[in-house]
Amino acid sequence: MKILTVIGARPQFVKACMLSRWLKIDHDMKEVIVHTGQHYDSNMSDVFFSQLNLAKPDYQLSIGSSSHGEQTGKMLIELEKVMVKEKPDLVLVYGDTNSTIAGGLAASKLDIPIAHVEAGLRSFNRKMPEEINRIVTDHLSSLLFCPSQTAVDHLRNEGIKENVYNTGDIMYDAVLDFKERALEHSNLLSQLTLTANNFYLATIHRGENTDDLKRLSVIIDGLKQLDLPVLFPLHPRTNKQLKKWNITDTNQVSNIMFIEPISYFDMLTIASQAKYILTDSGGLQKEAYMLKIPCLTLRTETEWTETIDSGWNQLVDLSTSKNIVEAVLKTKIPKDYSSLFGNGEASDLMYQHIKSWLK
Ligand code: UD1
């Protein structure tokens, strides 16, 4: 049986490496990995493949950046060619990026079944490109792997009921598997002369924040007023926008320490030792919860509502920078903690479902 995996952006490399392991040890399965090239800088791509021991892609499409339509369209054209040539039995797509929807569309036009990892997530904000990517991909998929019961319920409400599985979250598998190794290997904290619990970690990359001058200014202003250093690994998109609007001199700003994008091991280490995490990333909101670090989500809504209900995550209204400061001051470590994202066996379960579905 041949599985064709489509990946292209940072978080997809993390998710894919866990399932890829199972496919590798099964001699009846052959995995063909296609990298769309959505993320292409070495610190956004290569470093993940080497740290996670993910096989080198069989196809590197090198699509790179452009507008959403153009990027997705170019991926669709190239992915169709690969799928026609490889004739896979199943196409595996992850998450909610343009690579996900392109993989789903290319496969569905060729009548190849699709399995969607991280199915059923909804922010109910259709202005987000990711929301459209998720909805369309879910409706094209034959096998849907949900990280939580909430995600299963969302699919049910949209009439998707068959082959929907609550497997738990594959990112939790990765956190459990890599955390110790990450802590052993990463020395970023000492290089930056930071100590555990004495800094905040911030990441921003969503278009709704980076492409809106007012929101981006409010975020930077708010972070500047915090009482501890803020370590801020800069996504290329954010870096570009900060420079374009001259919001701040990224080399020299008060308590904010801007650094290049960091590897998965560095991120796990930094995230697990930060006092709080401030982010608009979907993945990092969950990782904060998995690592038991309070999170402040700099968005108006989130698809990870369970983390909000648990008290470990909160949404921050970005109308003024004061709101960020006040939210940080009010944040406390909740007393209760329960496992919201399964038991770390999501990739094993997905593999079993794929195997029996393909029989
Ligand atoms: C994408 C996903 C988002 C996911 C995120 C993970 C979509 C619509 N969004 O957003 O769901 O959470 O990845 O990081 O697919 N760039 C570089 N070097 C790189 C990669 C990107 O310079 O290696 C720049 C490009 O100039 C591009 C910008 O970053 O314009 C944004 O890249 P894009 O492909 O839109 O993805 P993300 O913003 O990362």
Please tell me the distance between residue 202's alpha carbon and the centre of ligand 1 in angstroms.
17
Residues annotated as catalytic are 205
For residue 31, pLDDT over 70 is answered with yes
Instruction: Please tell me if the CB atom of residue 299 comes closer than 6 angstroms to any atom of ligand 1.
Output: no
Q: Which residues are bridge partners to 90 per DSSP?
A: 3
pLDDT, position 249: 65
Q: How confident is the model at residue 251 (pLDDT cuts 50, 70, 90)?
A: low
The CATH code belonging to domain 2-169+342-358 is 3.40.50.2000
* Gap between the Cα atoms of 243 and 115, Å rounded: 39
For 257-289, write each residue's pLDDT tens digit: 999 999 999 999 999 999 999 999 999 999 999
Q: What is the mean pLDDT of residues 223-243?
A: 96
pLDDT, position 70: 98
- The residue whose CA is least distant from atom 37 of ligand 1 is 205
Give the chain's mean pLDDT: 96
Please tell me the distance between residue 282's alpha carbon and the centre of ligand 1 in angstroms.
13
Instruction: Please tell me if the CB atom of residue 205 comes closer than 6 angstroms to any atom of ligand 1.
Output: yes
> What's the ipTM?
0.89
User: Which atom belonging to ligand 1 lies closest to the Cα atom of 95?
Assistant: 11
Instruction: Please tell me if the CB atom of residue 11 comes closer than 6 angstroms to any atom of ligand 1.
Output: yes
Q: Domain residues of the chain, as ranges?
A: 2-169+342-358, 177-330
Q: Are 4 and 82 in contact (CB under 8 A)?
A: yes
Report the relative pairing of strands 114-117 and 90-94 from DSSP bridges.
parallel
For residue 252, pLDDT over 90 is answered with no
Instruction: Please tell me if the CB atom of residue 132 comes closer than 6 angstroms to any atom of ligand 1.
Output: no
Q: What is the mean pLDDT of residues 222-251?
A: 91
Please tell me the distance between residue 214's alpha carbon and the centre of ligand 1 in angstroms.
21
Q: How confident is the model at residue 250 (pLDDT cuts 50, 70, 90)?
A: low
* Gap between the Cα atoms of 345 and 188, Å rounded: 30
* Gap between the Cα atoms of 233 and 44, Å rounded: 11
Q: What percent of the chain has pLDDT over 70?
A: 99
Q: Which residues are bridge partners to 2 per DSSP?
A: 30
User: Which atom belonging to ligand 1 lies closest to the Cα atom of 210?
Assistant: 38
Please tell me the distance between residue 19's alpha carbon and the centre of ligand 1 in angstroms.
23
- The residue whose CA is least distant from atom 25 of ligand 1 is 65
Q: How confident is the model at residue 58 (pLDDT cuts 50, 70, 90)?
A: very high
Q: How confident is the model at residue 247 (pLDDT cuts 50, 70, 90)?
A: confident
CA distances from 28 to 19, 31, 54, 265, 355 (A): 15, 10, 19, 32, 9
Q: What is the mean pLDDT of residues 24-34?
A: 97
The CATH code belonging to domain 177-330 is 3.40.50.2000
Instruction: Please tell me if the CB atom of residue 38 comes closer than 6 angstroms to any atom of ligand 1.
Output: yes
Instruction: Please tell me if the CB atom of residue 165 comes closer than 6 angstroms to any atom of ligand 1.
Output: no
Q: What is the mean pLDDT of residues 91-95?
A: 98
Instruction: Please tell me if the CB atom of residue 237 comes closer than 6 angstroms to any atom of ligand 1.
Output: yes
The string over 300-334, giving b where at least 16 C-beta atoms fall within 10 Å of a residue's C-beta and e elsewhere, is eebbbbbbbeeebbbebebeebebbbebbeebeee
Q: Among 278, 274, 344, 265, which residue's Cα sits nearest to residue 313?
A: 278
Please report where in the chains the tokens 């490496």 appear, as a residue: 17
Do 177-330 and 2-169+342-358 have the same topology in CATH?
yes
Pocket test residue of 97, 285, 299 for ligand 1, highest count of atoms within 8 A of CB: 97
pLDDT, position 248: 75
Q: How confident is the model at residue 254 (pLDDT cuts 50, 70, 90)?
A: confident
